[in-house]
A and B are shown apart, each in its own frame.
Chain A
Amino acid sequence: MGVLVSKDTRLLVQGLGRDGSFQASRARAYGTNMVAAVHPGREGQKFEDTVPYFSSVAQAVKATGANAGVIYVPAPAAADAIIEQADAGMGVIVCVTEGVPVMDMMKTLAYLKGKKSRLIGPNCPGLIQPATKVKIGIIPGNIVNPGRIGIVSRSGTLTYEAVAQLSAHGLGESTCVGIGGDPLHGTTFTDVLGMFQDDPDTDAIVLIGEIGGVREQRAAEFIKARLRKPVVACIVGQTAPPGKRMGHAGAIITGKAALASEKVAALKAAGAHVVDSPAYIGQKVKEVLGR
């Protein structure tokens, strides 16, 4: 039944300012079981008259059995929120917050080693699982459909683009996972590919990468060595000049390995079906599945 989350997912939302509240409301409307809200100063109140507020994650987890958390707190406090959720034993932590300092993430990722929590993000749209109606993050619920394609992407809006194309071809998603656009992030392409490999409800995988770093090459190594399901991949940023940050902190060409062409070559060599433009993702998936 997809990856990372299930019908037993109990969501905690941390940071309910304007954006956090809006997104929490959307998740509930989609059908996600939100059990706790954490926002110091509002203890005793209820979010949308239903979900209890707590002043700490540990209290919230103890009282509600929350097993997945999403973070909307501002960037300077985001790393602390990740650590707080990990200390409370959260299973899956999605950090949507953009602009978290790299040094904060460096220390936080080191801290998370050996802990049972899995971090997705930061600077990511989160994940959505149409069959169970679990939405953790900001991927719009109205565009996805239950199905058997797994999507993993560094980009939010490109994930929507891929979904729209799958829909146009009558296909749906088992789980969509946005791993985020920062150079240092928790869950990697390789992690998610491994989960899709083991998921009986996923038949094929769409991987959307971009310039910067070497995570796509690591994914290619995994695809070659272990993956037995078809992968349709697209790498954006072919036209980006070296040394310029293209919106995402991680999308900057700092050496040869960071080039789109290097990533495309690695993925092709690993047996992935690489499309030149994201405009052809849907068509290619259809073709690969032979329907």
Chain B
Amino acid sequence: MKLHEYQAKQLLELYGVPTLPGEVATTPLEARKAAEKAGGRNVVKAQIHAGGRGKAGGVKVVDTPAEAETAAASMLGRRLVTHQTPAGGVLVRKALVVSAADIAKELYVAVIMDGDVGAPVVIASTEGGVDIEEIAARTPDKILRVPGDPLIGLTPYKARDLAYALGVPPELVRPTADLIVKLYRLFVEKDCSLVEVNPLVTTKPSRPGQQPRIIALDAKVSLEDDALFRHPELQALHDPEQEEPLELRAAAAELSYVKLEGGRVGCMVNGAGLAMATMDITKWAGADPANFLDVGGSADEKRVEEAYRILVSDPDVKVVLINLFGGILRCDAAARGIVAGAQATRSDLPVVVTMRGTNAEEGLKILADSGLKTHLAHDLAGAADALKELLAASTPTKAPGQQARRR
């Protein structure tokens, strides 16, 4: 589960990490008042669950309350499109108004789980303010990695080494090390899958005698869905408006659905690995998958019906590819679910089907007798061939081979 920047900063503050919290505005007028209250130069930041806001016009520096109002008006109630959002963008409901910092240096720091190490790892760089992917591509040698220990955590000396390596001014070494340890603790204690501060900044003293500071100027926190059961207070931070409506509907039915941009084959499968394999087969057949729908290992008729309804309510889907391997899942039950889903939605899309395993023959017979436009295949290779034929017969709406959008 992703959090908004303002929510992430609240979590950071809870752990004693210095941020500029600012105020959340839901109307341009509120943004104006927040800027008035803060005084001086402010930054208005659209709150969406995607990066790349700056380049897309979702972050604006303003000098007056009137400018803050105008900036907020340009964001609120509109859809912001960044390189990480779907093509249609994401609706902006909230904007964060926050004092502008006097930045001396922008750094990068993040905590993620490293499956290879078996512990969280702190990733840091002196090149903050740009995407970590960009840092990795441009200056891979400037990325520092410090693993924690699964039982002990991140010991202070490692954080101190990192602070020195980041080249912060001497008086900021301790506060920076302290901040890194706190980010690590937050990551572990709140079951995060990502804690990212980009940029982490050192400030210029604005008047003599003032100390420079280290501040988490932006914050991105993602929580691990599987551990949310033990953090009821964090569950409340969920913002369903930021997600694909079909993904939400699927989650409610305990289905795993992922929307992919630019494709036209809807894939229904049981099992994540088989789902990915089926998507690949679509690709080899010269088309792109429009989505990934995993009904899971033990779905029944009702769940398969809902899965089919979700699949065909995606307007991009022109052909349906169903690949089921019955184990606990019975293919005859699945077939009845598919037929029910097709009848309920009055869908007449062509359907390529392979079914193996438990009650596969009964399932295939149900589909063959259903009146649906089904193309039955014996195995994955056969399914790919059937898909190729169908796609060749229809006019492509998009060029084949087009890449799924980066997210």
Contacts and interface: CB of A to CB of B under 8 A. Distances in A.
A246 B358 CA distance: 25
Contact of B273 (A104, A154, A213): A154
Interface stretch (A6-14, A63-71, A156-164): A156-164
Contacts of B284: 276-277
Nearest to A153: B273
B116 A161 contact: no
A277 B384 CA distance: 10
B362 to A, nearest CB: 15
A210 B276 contact: yes
Contacts, number: 184
B233 interface: no
A184 B120 CA distance: 11
A250 interface: yes
Interface in B326-361: 327-328, 356-358
Interface residues of B, number: 60
A213 B277 contact: no
B374 interface: no
A180 B282 CA distance: 24
B151 interface: yes
Given A102-B227, A155-B274, A239 B279 contact: yes
A244 B406 CA distance: 10
A30 interface: no
A236 B277 contact: yes
B272 A103 contact: no
A183 B406 contact: no
A208 interface: yes
A278 B328 contact: no
Interface string A206-241: 001011111100100000000000000010111111
B407 A164 contact: no
A110 B380 contact: no
Interface stretch (B8-16, B65-73, B288-296, B388-396): B288-296
A249 B272 CA distance: 10
A238 B283 contact: yes
Contacts of A104: 227
Given A106-B118, A160-B357, A241 B113 contact: no
Given A102-B191, A140-B358, A210-B273, A164 B379 contact: yes
B381 A101 contact: no
B271 interface: yes
A91 interface: no
Contacts of B380: 161, 277-279
B288 A244 contact: no
Interface string B372-384: 0000000111001
Given A22-B328, A157-B271, A239-B279, A247 B407 contact: no
Given A22-B328, A247-B294, A237 B276 contact: yes
Contact of B191 (A101, A140, A165): A101
Contacts of A238: 279-280, 283
Interface stretch (A34-42, A51-59, A193-201, A251-259): A251-259
Nearest to B187: A103
Given A138-B297, A155-B272, A255-B136, A279 B118 contact: no
B292 A246 contact: yes
B275 A140 contact: no
B273 to A, nearest CB: 2
A256 B272 contact: no
Contacts of B116: 213-215, 218
B53 to A, nearest CB: 16
A75 B226 contact: yes
A104 B261 CA distance: 34
B79 interface: no
A150 interface: no
B297 to A, nearest CB: 7
Interface in B261-311: 261, 269-277, 279-284, 288-289, 292, 294, 297-298
A244 B258 contact: yes
Contacts of A266: none
Interface string A142-176: 01000000000111111111001100100000000
B230 interface: yes
B115 interface: yes
Contact of B297 (A99, A157, A183): A157
18 contacts: A102-B191, A102-B224, A103-B191, A138-B328, A140-B327, A140-B358, A155-B273, A155-B274, A157-B325, A168-B379, A210-B273, A236-B280, A239-B260, A240-B279, A247-B258, A247-B272, A251-B276, A276-B280
